[in-house]
Amino acid sequence: MGSGNGSVAAWLSQRVGATGHVLATDIDPRFLKNMKLPNMEVRRHDIMADEVPEEAFDLVHCRLVLLHLPQRENALCHMISALKPGGWLLVEEFDSASLPADPTVNPAEVLSKTQTAMTRVLDDRGVDRRYGRQLLRQLQAHGLVEVDAEARMSLWQGGSSGACLLRANYEQLRTDMINAGYITKEEFERDLARLERADFLMPSPIMWTAWGRRPAA
């Protein structure tokens, strides 16, 4: 669910082999159109509005989707209902609120004006920036068993893949941040340029991965 460019779906299609089946869904599946795998079906699907196959899958996966949804708990219920008895749910979500940049710990870490502006825009949109940390409790509350979770993070340096991801996020929200008055064009361009500097350093969001199994019938 929320397959994006299809990297996880393609990996799963290799794992399940010729006798398996992978359904890759997204509300905007344009990045999946060129994926022609015989055991993978691509479907435009809105987890909030469209019907979900009941008890159809051995595994349901999503990454960085639920924290953006206003009715994320309903979406979680829909995914669980799509599991066969004994099937597994695997969810990956960020927690970007628990460990912000802290120059008192590492002087190279700077919380930029653009990062603060982006945080305000996400809060305005109802994004739950701490949702990843809540996943284990949420899966338990929905009755899954064998629930567990783990987390990982890194320090993003100038010019790294993490800095590139940050650049993409900044550019996507540039107009909204400026129009809201949270940042000026000059401040935005200054912070964007810093992403390539050797002295740039920023802790990544914490990526939480949680999993659980639907009780067998």
Query: Using an 8 Å Cβ cutoff, are 78 and 47 in contact?
Result: yes
Q: Name the DSSP letter for residue 64.
A: S
Average pLDDT for residues 177-185, to the nearest whole number?
A: 97
Q: Which two tokens stand for residue 102?
A: 């802290």
Q: From the CA atom positions of the chain, what is the Rg in Å?
A: 19
pLDDT at 26 over 90: yes
Q: Which residues fall within 8 angstroms of residue 79, CB to CB, at 6 or more apart?
A: 1, 47, 52, 60, 62, 89, 91
Query: Using an 8 Å Cβ cutoff, are 60 and 83 in contact?
Result: yes
pLDDT at 161 over 90: yes
Q: Name the DSSP letter for residue 111.
A: -
Q: What is the pTM of this model?
A: 0.90
Q: Which residues fall within 8 angstroms of residue 30, CB to CB, at 6 or more apart?
A: none
The pLDDT value recorded for residue 192 is 95
Contacts made by residues 49-57, CB under 8 angstroms, sequence distance 24+: 52/78, 52/79, 52/81, 52/82, 53/82, 54/81, 54/82, 55/81, 55/82, 55/83, 55/84, 55/85, 55/87, 56/82, 56/84, 57/23, 57/82, 57/83, 57/84, 57/87
Cα 80 to Cα 58, 148, 211, distances in angstroms = 11, 16, 11
Instruction: Choose the weakest-confidence range: 5-9, 143-147, 149-153, 173-177.
Output: 5-9
pLDDT at 217 over 80: no
Average pLDDT for residues 15-42, to the nearest whole number?
A: 91
Average pLDDT for residues 36-40, to the nearest whole number?
A: 91
CATH architecture of 46-213: 3-Layer(aba) Sandwich (3.40)
Instruction: Choose the weakest-confidence range: 1-5, 82-86, 108-112, 162-166.
Output: 108-112
pLDDT at 29 over 80: yes
The pLDDT value recorded for residue 111 is 83
Write down the domain spans for the chain. 46-213
pLDDT at 175 over 80: yes
The pLDDT value recorded for residue 208 is 97
pLDDT over 90, % of the chain = 83
